[in-house]
Amino acid sequence: MGRRNRREPSEEPTELKLGNFARTENHADGEWKVTSLTGDTSVKVYRCPGCQGEIQPKTAHIVAWNMDYSADERRHWHTACWKRRTPSRY
């Protein structure tokens, strides 16, 4: 029987790897890692910190966390809430 190749476990959560591209944004409160999730990859209900509303499964949205903290501190935002959260500084 042939040998099976096994991949090393990824440290990045699966939900952040599916169908999206991470980018870095600079805001007044620091540097943020921002990822856009498609509705196809969203399978849970999340609470948006911008409006306190629910983000339903199958809804495209943003996942963001401050680079000064770990990815465990990531939060799921409605795309519109993230865009109006704070203006970017460039």
Say how many CA atoms lie within 13 Å of 2 toward its Cβ: 3
Neighbours of 76 (CB within 10 A): 22
What's the structural domain count of the chain? Answer: 1
Angle at the Cα of 73 from the Cα atoms of 72 and 77, rounded to 5 degrees: 115
Indicate the pTM of the whole model.
0.71
30 lies in a domain?
yes
Predicted local confidence at residue 1, as pLDDT: 57
pLDDT at 64: 94
Residue 42 lies in a domain: yes
42-49: Cβ within 8 A, 24+ apart: 42/15, 43/15, 46/76, 47/76, 48/76, 48/77, 48/78, 48/81, 49/75, 49/77, 49/81
Confidence at residue 59, expressed as pLDDT on a 0 to 100 scale: 94
Domain that holds residue 54: 14-85
pLDDT along the chain (90 residues), means of 10: 58 49 88 91 92 96 92 92 74
Is there a domain that residue 9 lies in? no
- pLDDT for 9: 52
